[in-house]
């Protein structure tokens, strides 16, 4: 384990597109359920045409492998490979990970190091690395997604697994000897937990490591789908996007612009200023169309505030050397509370205002303002 975090040169940040306008192929190749619409080349091309320059492809390797030998199904490997090829042909930087994947790693017991978990981790990433050995380094490998780690001690165990992931990938040679590898923060890739508990990094002969965190805050605005006794859903975020009618649905000022900036600055101080790239691998806020009582101008204000939320995060992250990737969930069973901006069947961009704000354009102004 390295002694500290000052390991890399600042030039390392250039591996991820600068600025990064990223998009997640969510609820697709990582799905462990049936009825999922598979990606098409048209979809991938339209993602690039909309202005995105980076794609994160969540994967479920364990769900698509022999449970005894841990050999990944050839058909699944071929599917992931095809999507990577489409994305690289569209000039997108590509990140593939092992997502929740049934929780075999994400929810494993990090109180102790488990040789069986490690053997599976090394097996999968050795197979993946060998498959993509000759691909250029604009393909990044991300070891996990949101590891359920809740203490400094558990973080130490997590980093042991990460060290073995690094060793396994590097041992396959070829372009994997210098490929950028992404490590997820503890606490479900939580910014504060990562800031508090990651005090050293695994060793890497290539010095090509990226750290990943996620951002879905404030919860009442970004994810909450029903009022609770402790608080209500918020529909409006941003100082200029508050409702004068549905005032109880406005986010509090302490959770808005200044909070985003302060959270991202933690990752800048902890990593990017020391030359360690940071990936904001997921962020977003649900779209509340169909919500009772949210109609007309108030609905338009909510939708505009979402574009401002996205725009603010993308701009602030990139200004601090942090590379943001929006979460798109394909409306998979989410109904109206969704993040999706593309129709996955046709590949058509259905939310151009959202895409515009996510790719360097302006947010929608408040209605009438």
Total domains in the fold of the chain: 1
What is the domain range of residue 140?
A: 10-358
Record the pTM: 0.96
- Domain membership flag for residue 365: no
Residue 330 has what pLDDT? 78
The number of helices, as runs of H, and strands, as runs of E, in the chain is 10, 10
187 found inside a domain? yes
CATH of the domain at 252: 3.20.20.80
Q: Is residue 369 part of a domain?
A: no
Q: What are phi and psi of 59, to 5 degrees?
A: -130, 155
DSSP letters spanning 311-342: HHHHHHHHHTTEEEEE---TTTTTTTEE---B
Residues 70 and 47: their CA atoms lie apart, in Å, by 33
Q: Does any domain span residue 253? A: yes
- Span 182-196, average pLDDT: 98
What whole-number distance in Å separates Cα of residue 173 and Cα of residue 169?
Answer: 8
Averaged pLDDT for residues 205-229 = 97
CA proximity to 96, closest of 82, 108, 116: 82
Phi-psi region of 356 (alpha: psi -120 to 50; beta: other; left: phi over 0): alpha
1 located within any domain:
no
Q: Is residue 363 part of a domain?
A: no
Tell me how far the alpha carbon of residue 148 is from its chain's centroid.
16
Do the domain assignments include residue 2?
A: no
Per-residue pLDDT at 333 exceeds 50: no
| Greater model confidence, 246 or 8 | 246
What is the arithmetic mean of pLDDT over 330-358? 83
pLDDT at residue 201, as a whole number: 92
**Contact criterion met (CB below 8 Å) for 31 and 332:** yes
- Per-residue confidence (pLDDT) for residue 339, from 0 to 100: 95
């Amino acid at each position: 384990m390295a002694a500290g975090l000052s390991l890399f040169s600042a030039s390392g940040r250039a591996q991820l597109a600068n600025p990064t306008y990223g998009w997640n192929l969510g609820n697709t190749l990582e799905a462990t359920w049936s009825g999922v619409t598979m990606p098409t080349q048209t979809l991938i091309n339209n993602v690039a045409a909309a202005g995105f320059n980076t794609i994160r492809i969540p994967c479920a390797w364990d769900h698509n492998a022999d449970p005894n030998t841990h050999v990944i199904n050839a058909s699944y490997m071929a599917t992931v490979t095809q999507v990577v090829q489409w994305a690289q042909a569209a000039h997108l930087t590509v990140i593939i990970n092992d997502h929740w994947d049934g929780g075999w790693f994400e929810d494993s017991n990090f109180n102790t190091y488990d040789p069986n978990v490690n053997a599976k981790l090394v097996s999968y990433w050795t197979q993946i690395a060998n498959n993509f050995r000759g691909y250029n380094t604009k393909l990044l490998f991300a070891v996990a997604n949101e590891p359920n780690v809740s203490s400094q001690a558990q973080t130490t165990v997590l980093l042991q697994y990460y060290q073995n992931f690094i060793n396994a990938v590097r041992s396959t040679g070829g372009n994997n000897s210098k490929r950028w590898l992404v490590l997820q923060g503890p606490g479900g890739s939580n910014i504060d937990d990562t800031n508090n508990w990651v005090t050293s990094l695994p060793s890497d002969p290539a010095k090509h490591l990226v750290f990943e965190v996620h951002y879905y805050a404030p919860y009442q605005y970004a994810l909450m789908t029903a009022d609770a006794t402790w608080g209500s859903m918020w529909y409006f975020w941003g100082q200029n996007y508050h409702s004068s009618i549905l005032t109880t649905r406005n986010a509090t000022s302490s959770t808005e612009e200044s909070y985003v900036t302060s959270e991202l600055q933690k990752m800048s101080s902890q990593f990017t200023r020391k030359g360690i790239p940071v990936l904001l691998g997921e962020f977003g806020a649900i779209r509340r169309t169909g919500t009772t009582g949210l109609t007309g101008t108030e609905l338009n204000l909510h939708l505009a505030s979402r574009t401002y939320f996205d725009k603010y995060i993308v701009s602030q992250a990139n200004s601090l050397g942090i590379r943001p990737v929006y979460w798109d969930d394909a409306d998979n069973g989410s109904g109206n509370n969704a993040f999706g901006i593309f129709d996955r069947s046709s590949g058509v961009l259905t939310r151009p205002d959202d895409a515009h704000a996510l790719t360097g354009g302006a947010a929608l102004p408040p209605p009438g303002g």
